[in-house]
Structure 1
């Protein structure tokens, strides 16, 4: 007997004065509907900083702040083992170089654990000049919503570049040049493919840092500052990724996607350094899916150029179906740069809302995974011995992690990972596996399709 489809879940933000403090505010997510009785998914902030998520039920007549606040305090009190990447991030906090040079201040663990000290240590770290690249295709209404959120960022020095990818109409051009004239730059790229569009945006951009997001997100006002500030503190940093949470959980497809991982990568800062590979990720740096996602990423422009940019035969819009972001993460790490994840850089993502969308995503994720691996080995064949050496231990580690999934998954997700409240349909698993088999073929097709265009002088 099949499970009934999940009911809509309210999505809200809850801000606490401290991990065990009173509720400062409770509000819907940007542009979201008012909270209603029933299931509620809440981002928990502590004095404005994202710290956790909770899932609760608010009955008619109950005080939502009291119910969710109690759940939030209990969640924040939980502790668990830290990963190697989390430990490395804690050992290398973001701070002005002159403060980091003072062992009397930041060499002591008790001082490092104090967020007030770290906040002061970060003062005076202006984020570098940044270009935000948004690739889009025939979705002007969603694009307008994303641009409105980008234009109210608290970053002091930013330009916004929209790349109109293989347009069929003039809708995007008219939106950008009329509604956002003099505030947003317009670039047209006729070759379809997300990686091609990102490369076109990067070529047109002027920033020291290149940030990328999608046209189906709403960026938190502090998103860009939090995403780019780490580059000022760490000259060896090549990439920063951030937190992606659902803007809506209104349809079964949206809830199912989020209940089985969504795009969120947790709330603990993580640092990946090729000079200190994490022992608990045996396939590093090929575990690109754990680094972040393309809707919320930034690169030091020089590092991305040194890594060769995005592979134009990857990404949605090509036969490869995806993998452009994963390829770029590994390419930058393989070039010797570090990668940092920070939950303070937050965007709200509008998940696709239909069953067919979810089917397409499942297949695309599988195809993108193996397409990116193929692209990595084709363009960086020197990495093949490292991958083969890591593969046996990596596969054993993956099987062990899968077996423990219900025990180790972070809470606060619809259905709770591993509880089967919203079981992942076998049909979607089959589609994902089929996509994985297709990925190398799709990448080969995309490269073959790109060859004639190069010969034509593109």
Structure 2
């Protein structure tokens, strides 16, 4: 869910990094079921590969690589005029990705019934695109709830009533502005034991919901599952920069985060919430999520806190001893914001949301203060690295997305400053938001 106006950025010149060319976004299957070998196609919801402007004689392509349906990595390559994109990128994938001996994807096992909650505000066209992908899921038993957050018009309600109501999509209205408040309304009206959340600016892979909910059936102690988020388009410099900054992807290896066995390679655990996943692709067991109070309504996009609602929920559950699982099998394709102005707002919001989340955690669970203070020196060092200005290195010269957490991407001084200003603002933003939402918590307990 994104608040604000859409702005097309075009091939704008961004301060401090010059011009970044766009990339085609594709899916590359290395072993097609029909025996035809490698095949390639555009990302769901993205433009055809030949619609992306060339960079000289080349067309630059960002591709999700699958092996018999399963995601195994990404490649960024150049395809010259006359070359077969599938062959070129398959060869590159063989050089760059350690391919597992991956069997064909098995049919979904004992997946629990689920409710998908989509929060939205005045974006009926984007919402319709997302809903079409959700209604095409291969999950055997689910429903969809659209939460209309502080609507200014009846556009969303009319869309559901006229097009999607008869297809089983339910409508709910949440008058309090903010993504967390909208998600809490979704919790209140959902009728399933597993609640999945995604945004109105994504397209879900047909296997998304099955992959996201299957772990709950396999592990009764699991409270949260997150999945892989990939860019649907990389057509503007702002979109390339955001994905280069790590985007929303968390890699191609499943990982379980268990508070009983803290990961040795995560010294800031559990406060490195950004490692666990993002709000556009997450699911929770309803009982534990309700037990911790759901999402803090003073966090999230649409509030003065600017974000942090998803991070708060992840850390809150981990702090209560519940494990969390990240799985790359559950994929959604996210439409990144297109303009420089939007990217500036996101950079500021990332910083603000992080410290707003930490403030919320301390307010809601003061016992977290000692472990947070013990990790503070390393946390500050991590924040400096995360928000540092960068000329770009190899990824910057190519204008290509880098690996998540590698920090080798181009990141202009202006965006670096905005992130750091956001870090300072977050606690104040949370305080302002908390005053504004008093009396709106736990709507599922209302009589």
TM class by shorter chain equals 0.7 to 0.9
Kindly state the Cα deviation for residue 132 of structure 1 after the two structures are TM-superposed: 0.2
Q: 1:363 aligns with which of 341, 348, 353?
A: 348
**Matches of 1:147 and 1:441 in 2, distance apart?**
36
Q: Does 1:215 align with 2:193?
A: no
State the match for 2:6 in structure 1.
Answer: none
Q: 2:212 aligns with which of 227, 245, 268?
A: 227
Kindly state the Cα deviation for residue 416 of structure 1 after the two structures are TM-superposed: 3.5
State the match for 2:18 in structure 1.
Answer: 4
For residues 4-403 of structure 1, the aligned pairs below 5 Å read: 4-17=18-31, 23-36=37-50, 37-77=58-98, 115-116=102-103, 125-182=109-166, 183-395=168-380
**Matches of 1:124 and 1:26 in 2, distance apart?**
25
Distance 1:374 1:421, change over 3 A: closer
Partner-residue secondary structure (3-state), 1:138: coil
Q: Which 10-residue stretch deviates more, 393-402 or 287-296?
A: 393-402
**Matches of 2:205 and 2:119 in 1, distance apart?**
19
**Matches of 1:249 and 1:50 in 2, distance apart?**
19
Structure 1 spans left out of the alignment, 5+ residues: 79-112
* TM-score, with length taken from structure 1: 0.84
Kindly state the Cα deviation for residue 215 of structure 1 after the two structures are TM-superposed: 0.1
**Matches of 1:218 and 1:399 in 2, distance apart?**
33
Kindly state the Cα deviation for residue 415 of structure 1 after the two structures are TM-superposed: 4.8
- Greater share of residues in helix: 1
Q: Which 10-residue stretch deviates more, 275-284 or 382-391?
A: 382-391
Structure 2 spans left out of the alignment, 5+ residues: 1-14, 51-57
RMSD: 2.8
Contact 2:68 2:103 (C-alpha < 8 Å) held by counterparts: no
Higher relative contact order (CA 8 A, sep 6+): 2
1:70-124 Cα deviation digits (max 9, x unpaired): 111112238xxxxxxxxxxxxxxxxxxxxxxxxxxxxxxxxxx86549x66xx67
Q: Which 10-residue stretch deviates more, 304-313 or 321-330?
A: 304-313
Kindly state the Cα deviation for residue 4 of structure 1 after the two structures are TM-superposed: 3.4
**Matches of 1:226 and 1:288 in 2, distance apart?**
21
Q: 1:414 aligns with which of 397, 400, 416?
A: 400
Contact 1:282 1:397 (C-alpha < 8 Å) held by counterparts: no
Kindly state the Cα deviation for residue 268 of structure 1 after the two structures are TM-superposed: 0.6
Kindly state the Cα deviation for residue 413 of structure 1 after the two structures are TM-superposed: 8.7
Q: Which 10-residue stretch deviates more, 160-169 or 255-264?
A: 255-264
Distance 1:66 1:124, change over 3 A: closer
Distance 1:445 1:396, change over 3 A: closer
State the match for 1:436 in structure 2.
Answer: 423
Partner-residue secondary structure (3-state), 2:29: strand
Contact 1:10 1:40 (C-alpha < 8 Å) held by counterparts: yes
Contact 2:145 2:169 (C-alpha < 8 Å) held by counterparts: yes
Contact 1:41 1:413 (C-alpha < 8 Å) held by counterparts: no
Contact 1:281 1:394 (C-alpha < 8 Å) held by counterparts: no
Contact 2:108 2:210 (C-alpha < 8 Å) held by counterparts: no
**Matches of 1:246 and 1:124 in 2, distance apart?**
25
1:382-433 Cα deviation digits (max 9, x unpaired): 1111212233355567778999x999x9xx9925469999621100110111
**Matches of 2:406 and 2:439 in 1, distance apart?**
50
Partner-residue secondary structure (3-state), 2:185: helix
**Matches of 1:287 and 1:420 in 2, distance apart?**
16
Paired residues in the alignment total 414
**Matches of 1:3 and 1:287 in 2, distance apart?**
29
Distance 1:25 1:168, change over 3 A: same
**Matches of 1:283 and 1:4 in 2, distance apart?**
35
**Matches of 1:236 and 1:34 in 2, distance apart?**
43
Q: Which 10-residue stretch deviates more, 129-138 or 327-336?
A: 327-336
Partner-residue secondary structure (3-state), 1:131: strand
Contact 1:258 1:413 (C-alpha < 8 Å) held by counterparts: no
Contact 2:138 2:207 (C-alpha < 8 Å) held by counterparts: yes
**Matches of 2:386 and 2:47 in 1, distance apart?**
37
